[in-house]
């Protein structure tokens, strides 16, 4: 299947998805409320013990990485719903690209992530978080966030294609997010974690994205935090980008392979 | 236009398709008639490239559904028993999207969507109303319209009227008839002999994954032993006289005393009915009701398989 065909069909499906989201905006409440709740809990419940005002500068990069990771569960649920209603069967019987349906979903779900990013930035500014970097660096940081949101969405797509039902996609799509987001340097410095967890956290893509975002926005860690060392921390932007590319390279083919084989009943 | 040769498919312990053979000439309507679980939907899923069989070959519009799925999908329209329309889009948006996914330009797809909504009498509701708010019959018509957006030479309809009320069924039949009159080759699965009779040029009966009979509706009915004569009497006292009279003209008769109903086979149709009625008049037996009945799907099945058909209009279940 040609790349042009995939992009064209992906665009048609993405437009259809966005129309659907626009008509049921209630589904976006989670995408908006969840980052607000996380910002407030971490800034004011745990944040006091972790460095107060300094911690808030540190926190926003982590919240961004964590929220975008969580947003992959929207992809999983939406696709599982299309599978369950038989719409995917309809698409599979059309002479369209085999990548189109999933590509359309992962693309349109970027809209949810853009909304999440805007909400977090606004929340951060309200609690005293500031950007301290040049415009070029800030633009690159936003691009990284979008790339990461797109990449992680393919994992959600793979979960939907494997789970086949909305209920299973919903629970599986959330379950893996907790260890991945919390055994990371999203909310504390990776070096504060014990032994093996530290190694996992240092190489965790969520850590890489959070670190790259902090560096991009010029947010220094609180003085009490051990400076994160190691290659991934020192090359956070490069490593985060490589992670995104690797995630797409792994999950896009297996999600599409599942799509080709899947049958609703 | 459709050629199925020796298709087999097994799901676990269940042999869903056990060597299905079927040829559908171009421009004809083929009915695929069978009870739940006979293999109708599985056959459709093979033809629509959604399922790869364990063995056998399926050719649609000159392309193999197994090795050249994309070419088949380009020449094929599909409408299923679950009416897979996007509930959040309007009818117009649904059809436009399907048109674009068939490769039409947006403007062309929009024009075609309008045309189809008019043809399917959905144009008064389709613009403002989401498909989720349509009635069952309207959704089914929208799904059917989606199958012919790109004017494919072959259309496959999986139980297009299952679960519809009589009015919705009638509307769907009209739509299918106009499709067939335009020269489209149609394969239609159904559980209803009446529906196959109404719409199909030729009917194949499927049971336990095999085609067990093929022919026109009247050929199948004749195979099932033709029709039967049903007589209902007004008074219990006449039952014995009626029995003697009917036997006197050479017919077997079965009597249900409670309903005062006498049933006889009618191999020669209306002649037999006339003979029986004359015999009853000769014996001065008053008749409350008299009818010449066609065999039901149940009787056709009983004759062909030795087992009664399951005629519950429930959803067909095929393990995946």
Q: Is A189 left (phi over 0), alpha (psi -120 to 50) or beta?
A: beta
Q: Do A92 and B50 touch (CB under 8 A)?
A: yes
**CA count, 13 A, side-chain hemisphere, A112:** 35
Q: Do B73 and A95 touch (CB under 8 A)?
A: yes
Measured in angstroms, the CA of A13 and the nearest CA of chain B are apart by 8
Most confident of A191-195, B137-141, B198-202: B198-202
Contacts of B88 in chain A (CB under 8 A): 19-20, 23-24
In chain B, residues 94-113 whose CB comes closer than 8 Å to chain A? 97-98, 100-103
Predicted confidence band of residue B313 (pLDDT cuts 50, 70, 90): very low
In the sheet that holds B2-11, the strands lie side by side as: B14-24, B2-11, B55-60, B63-64
The 3-state DSSP class for residue A167 equals: helix
Question: What pLDDT does residue A73 have?
Answer: 93
Helices (H), A127-194: 135-163, 166-175, 177-182
Cβ burial of A138 (10 Å; 0-12, 13-18, 19+) is middle
The 3-state DSSP class for residue B56 equals: strand
Contacts of B48 in chain A (CB under 8 A): 93
Distance CA B286, CA B228 (A): 20
Q: What is the ipTM of this complex?
A: 0.86
DSSP state letters, B68-104: -HHHHHHTEEEE-TT----TTSBHHHHHHHHHHHTT-
Q: Do A9 and B317 touch (CB under 8 A)?
A: no
Contacts of B139 in chain A (CB under 8 A): none
Alpha-carbon dihedral angle through residues B268, B269, B275, B278, given to the nearest 10 degrees: 180
Contacts of A94 in chain B (CB under 8 A): 73, 98, 101-102
Of the two residues A110 and A86, the one the predictor is more confident about is: A110
Token pair in block for residue A148: 């990461």
Residue in chain A closest to B101 (alpha carbons) equals A96
Q: Do B93 and A86 touch (CB under 8 A)?
A: no
The shortest CB-CB distance from A16 to any of B89, B103, B317 is to B89
pLDDT in tens, A132-186: 989 999 999 999 999 999 999 999 999 999 997 899 998 988 899 999 999 988 8
Query: Comparing C-alpha atoms, which of B13, B12, B17 is closest to residue B55?
Result: B17
The shortest CB-CB distance from A263 to any of B45, B84, B93 is to B45
Question: What pLDDT does residue A47 have?
Answer: 78
The shortest CB-CB distance from B102 to any of A1, A23, A95 is to A95
Question: What pLDDT does residue B238 have?
Answer: 84
Contacts of B80 in chain A (CB under 8 A): 86, 89-90
Residue B30 reports pLDDT greater than 50: yes
The shortest CB-CB distance from B88 to any of A9, A12, A20 is to A20
Which helix (H) or strand (E) segment holds residue A14: the answer is: helix A3-23
The shortest CB-CB distance from B84 to any of A12, A20, A85 is to A85
pLDDT in tens, B184-227: 999 999 988 888 888 999 999 998 899 998 988 878 877 766 67
- Average pLDDT of the residues in A205-232: 87
Measured in angstroms, the CA of A141 and the nearest CA of chain B are apart by 35
Q: Do B100 and A86 touch (CB under 8 A)?
A: no
- Average pLDDT of the residues in B3-26: 92
Alpha-carbon dihedral angle through residues A81, A84, A90, A94, given to the nearest 10 degrees: 70
Measured in angstroms, the CA of A12 and the nearest CA of chain B are apart by 7
Cβ burial of B291 (10 Å; 0-12, 13-18, 19+) is exposed
Query: Comparing C-alpha atoms, which of B82, B69, B67 is closest to residue A83?
Result: B82
Measured in angstroms, the CA of B101 and the nearest CA of chain A are apart by 6
Q: How far, in Å, are A191, A232, B185 from residue A194 at the CA level? A: 8, 18, 69
Contacts of A264 in chain B (CB under 8 A): 320
Total Cβ atoms within 10 A of residue A252? 19
Distance CA A180, CA A200 (A): 9
Cβ burial of A28 (10 Å; 0-12, 13-18, 19+) is middle
* Dihedral over Cα of B231, B235, B240, B245: its sign: negative
pLDDT in tens, B84-107: 789 999 999 999 999 999 999 999
Contacts of A257 in chain B (CB under 8 A): none
Q: Do B89 and A263 touch (CB under 8 A)?
A: no
pLDDT in tens, A49-81: 777 788 889 999 999 999 999 999 999 999 999
Write down the mean pLDDT value for chain A.
90
Contacts of B9 in chain A (CB under 8 A): none
Q: Do A90 and B88 touch (CB under 8 A)?
A: no
Predicted confidence band of residue A85 (pLDDT cuts 50, 70, 90): confident
- Average pLDDT of the residues in B292-308: 70
Q: Do A92 and B103 touch (CB under 8 A)?
A: no
The shortest CB-CB distance from B98 to any of A86, A89, A94 is to A94
Residue B125 reports pLDDT greater than 80: no
Residue A1 reports pLDDT greater than 80: no
Alpha-carbon dihedral angle through residues B188, B191, B193, B195, given to the nearest 10 degrees: -50
The DSSP bridge partners found for residue B263 are B230, B254
CB of B209 within 8 A of CB of B39?
yes
- Average pLDDT of the residues in A219-246: 87
- Average pLDDT of the residues in B277-282: 88
């Amino acid at each position: 299947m040609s790349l042009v065909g995939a992009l064209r069909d992906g665009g048609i499906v993405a437009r259809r998805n966005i129309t659907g989201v626009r008509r049921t905006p209630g589904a976006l409440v989670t995408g908006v409320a969840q980052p607000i709740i996380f910002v407030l809990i971490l800034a004011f419940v745990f944040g006091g013990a972790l460095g107060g005002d300094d911690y808030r500068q540190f926190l926003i990069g982590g919240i961004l990485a964590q929220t975008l990771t969580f947003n992959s569960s929207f992809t999983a649920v939406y696709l599982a719903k299309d599978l369950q209603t038989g719409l995917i069967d309809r698409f599979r019987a059309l002479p369209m690209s085999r990548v189109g349906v999933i590509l359309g979903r992962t693309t349109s779900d970027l809209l949810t992530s853009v909304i999440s990013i805007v909400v977090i930035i606004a929340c951060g500014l309200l609690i005293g978080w500031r950007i301290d970097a040049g415009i070029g660096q800030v633009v690159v940081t936003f691009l990284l966030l979008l790339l990461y949101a797109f990449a992680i969405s393919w994992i959600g797509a793979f979960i939907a294609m494997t789970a086949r039902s909305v209920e299973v996609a919903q629970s599986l799509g959330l379950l893996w997010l907790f260890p991945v987001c919390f055994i990371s340097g999203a909310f504390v410095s990776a070096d504060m974690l014990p032994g093996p967890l530290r190694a996992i956290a240092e190489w965790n893509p969520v850590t890489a994205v959070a670190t790259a975002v902090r560096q991009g926005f010029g947010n220094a860690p609180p003085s009490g935090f051990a400076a994160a060392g190691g290659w991934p921390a020192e090359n956070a932007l490069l490593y985060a980008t490589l992670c995104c590319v690797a995630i797409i390279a792994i999950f896009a083919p297996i999600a599409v392979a599942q799509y080709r084989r899947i049958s609703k009943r | 236009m459709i050629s199925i040769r020796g298709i087999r498919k097994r799901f676990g312990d269940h042999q869903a398709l056990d060597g299905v053979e079927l040829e559908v000439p171009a421009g004809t309507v083929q009915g695929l008639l069978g009870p739940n679980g006979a293999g109708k939907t599985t056959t459709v899923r093979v033809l629509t490239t959604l399922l790869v069989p364990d063995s056998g070959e399926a050719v649609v519009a000159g392309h193999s559904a197994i090795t050249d799925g994309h070419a088949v999908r380009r020449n094929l329209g599909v409408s299923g028993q679950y009416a897979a329309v996007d509930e959040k889009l309007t009818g117009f948006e649904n059809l436009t999207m399907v048109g674009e996914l068939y490769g039409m330009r947006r403007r062309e797809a929009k024009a075609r969507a309008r045309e189809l909504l008019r043809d399917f009498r959905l144009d008064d509701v389709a613009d403002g109303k989401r498909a989720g708010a349509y009635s069952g019959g309207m959704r089914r018509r929208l799904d059917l319209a989606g199958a012919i957006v790109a004017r494919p030479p072959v259309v496959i309809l999986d139980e297009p009227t299952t679960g519809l009320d009589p009015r919705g069924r009638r509307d769907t039949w009209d739509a299918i008839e106009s499709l067939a009159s335009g020269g489209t080759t149609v394969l239609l699965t159904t559980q209803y002999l009446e529906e196959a009779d109404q719409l199909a040029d030729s009917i194949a009966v499927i049971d336990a994954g095999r085609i067990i009979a093929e022919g026109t509706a009247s050929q199948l009915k004749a195979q099932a032993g033709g029709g039967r004569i049903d007589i209902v009497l007004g008074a219990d006292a006449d039952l014995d006289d009626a029995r003697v009279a009917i036997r006197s003209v050479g017919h077997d008769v079965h009597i249900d005393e409670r309903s005062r109903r006498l049933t006889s086979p009618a191999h020669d149709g209306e002649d037999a009915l006339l003979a029986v009625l004359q015999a009853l008049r000769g014996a001065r037996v008053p008749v409350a009701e008299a009818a010449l009945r066609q065999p039901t799907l149940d009787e056709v099945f009983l004759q062909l398989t030795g087992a009664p058909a399951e005629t519950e209009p429930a959803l067909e279940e095929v393990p995946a």
